[in-house]
Chains A and B, each alone.
Chain A
Amino acid sequence: MSLYLAVLAAGIAVDAWLLAYALLRIRRTLAKLTLVALLLSFVVMSAAFLGREYAGLGAEWAPVALWTFVLSHPLAALFILVAVHGEALLRRYPAVLLILAPAPVLAAFAPPAGYDLARAYGTAPLNWYLVLCLALPLGEAVAAWSRSVARRSELFLLLAGALVLVLTGPVYGFELEATGLAEAAGSNPGTPLAAILFAAALTLANPAPMRRVPRGAAWDPHFPPGRLLLVDEARPKASAHYFAAAVAGGRPGLKLVRGSAAPVAGHGSLAVAALAPVRWPGSVVLATASEFLARHPAGIVFLRDLAYLVTLAGLPAARDALQALRRAAAGTAGTVVASLALLTPEERRDLLAIPGAASVRLPEPAAEMRAILEARFGAGAVHLLQSFAAREHRRLEDLTYEDVPAVETFLGTAMAVLARAPGDEPMVLGWRKALDHASLDLDRFVRRTLPEAAAGPWASEVRRAGGEELVVRASDYWHGKELDEMLHFAANQMNRVRYGDRVRGAFVQVLGRTGEHLFEAEVRRLGKTPADLGPEDVRRLAASAEAIVRSLEAAIDVASGRADLEARAHRLRAMLSGMTEEAGRAV
Chain B
Amino acid sequence: MPFDSTYVDGLDIVLVGGLPRASVVLVAGAPGTMKSSLAYAILHGNARRGRKGLYVSLEQSRESLLDHTRGLEMDPDGTAGNLSVLDLSALRARMEEARGPAWLDLFKMYTQTLKASFPYEFLVIDSLNALEILAKFERHRREVFDLFKWLRGLDATCLVISELPPDPEGGDYRSAADHREDYLSDGIVHLKLAKRGDFGVQRQLRVVKMRGRNHNTDYHALVFDGGFKVTRILS
| Residues 542-580 of chain A, each 1 if its beta carbon lies under 8 Å from chain B, else 0 | 000000100110111110110111000000000000000
- A102 contacts the other chain (CB 8 A): no
Q: Is the CB of A558 within 8 A of B118?
A: yes
A565 to B117 Cα, complex, angstroms: 10
Q: Is the CB of B113 within 8 A of A551?
A: no
- From A511, A512, A525, A556, give the contact of B86 (CB < 8 A): A556
A520 to B108 Cα, complex, angstroms: 18
- B105 contacts the other chain (CB 8 A): yes
Q: Is the CB of A513 within 8 A of B105?
A: yes
Chain A proximity of B235: nearest CB distance (Å): 45
Q: Is the CB of A558 within 8 A of B114?
A: yes
- B198 contacts the other chain (CB 8 A): no
With A555-B86, A555-B90, A561-B84 as given contacts, are A514 and B102 in contact (CB-CB < 8 Å)? yes
| Residues 88-119 of chain B, each 1 if its beta carbon lies under 8 Å from chain A, else 0 | 10110011011011100110111001101110
A100 to B223 Cα, complex, angstroms: 108
A121 to B102 Cα, complex, angstroms: 95
- From B109, B116, B118, give the contact of A514 (CB < 8 A): B109
Which residues of chain B come closer than 8 Å to A511, judged between CB atoms? Answer: 109
Q: Is the CB of B117 within 8 A of A518?
A: no
Q: Which residue of A lies closest to B116 (CB)?
A: A564
Q: Is the CB of B105 within 8 A of A514?
A: yes
Q: Which residue of B lies closest to A568 (CB)?
A: B113
With A555-B110, A556-B110, A558-B84 as given contacts, are A563 and B90 in contact (CB-CB < 8 Å)? no
Q: Is the CB of B117 within 8 A of A560?
A: yes
With A555-B91, A557-B62, A561-B114 as given contacts, are A525 and B84 in contact (CB-CB < 8 Å)? no
Which residues of chain A come closer than 8 Å to B110, judged between CB atoms? Answer: 552, 555-556
- B87 contacts the other chain (CB 8 A): yes
| Residues 51-90 of chain B, each 1 if its beta carbon lies under 8 Å from chain A, else 0 | 0000000000010000000000000000001001111101
Number of B residues near A (Cβ < 8 Å) is 26
Q: Which residue of A lies closest to B98 (CB)?
A: A521
Q: Is the CB of A563 within 8 A of B88?
A: no
- A448 contacts the other chain (CB 8 A): no
A552 to B109 Cα, complex, angstroms: 11
With A520-B98, A524-B97, A556-B110 as given contacts, are A512 and B85 in contact (CB-CB < 8 Å)? no
With A513-B105, A555-B86, A555-B88 as given contacts, are A521 and B97 in contact (CB-CB < 8 Å)? yes
Chain A proximity of B171: nearest CB distance (Å): 37
Q: Which residue of B lies closest to A554 (CB)?
A: B90
A551 to B110 Cα, complex, angstroms: 13
A469 to B109 Cα, complex, angstroms: 58
Chain B proximity of A60: nearest CB distance (Å): 80
Chain A proximity of B62: nearest CB distance (Å): 7
Which residues of chain B come closer than 8 Å to A514, judged between CB atoms? Answer: 102, 105-106, 108-109
Which residues of chain A come closer than 8 Å to B88, judged between CB atoms? Answer: 555
Q: Is the CB of A548 within 8 A of B105?
A: no
Chain B proximity of A567: nearest CB distance (Å): 10
- A222 contacts the other chain (CB 8 A): no
Which residues of chain B come closer than 8 Å to A556, judged between CB atoms? Answer: 84, 86, 110, 114
Which residues of chain B come closer than 8 Å to A521, judged between CB atoms? Answer: 95, 97-98, 102
Which residues of chain B come closer than 8 Å to A552, judged between CB atoms? Answer: 91, 110
A-B contacts, 18 of them at CB < 8 A, read A513-B105, A514-B106, A517-B101, A520-B98, A521-B97, A551-B90, A551-B94, A554-B90, A557-B62, A557-B85, A558-B84, A558-B117, A561-B114, A561-B117, A561-B118, A563-B117, A564-B113, A564-B116
Q: A517-B102, A557-B62 are in contact. List 17 more A-B contacts (CB 8 A).
A: A511-B109, A512-B105, A514-B109, A517-B105, A518-B102, A521-B102, A548-B94, A551-B90, A554-B90, A555-B88, A556-B86, A556-B114, A557-B85, A560-B117, A561-B113, A561-B118, A565-B113
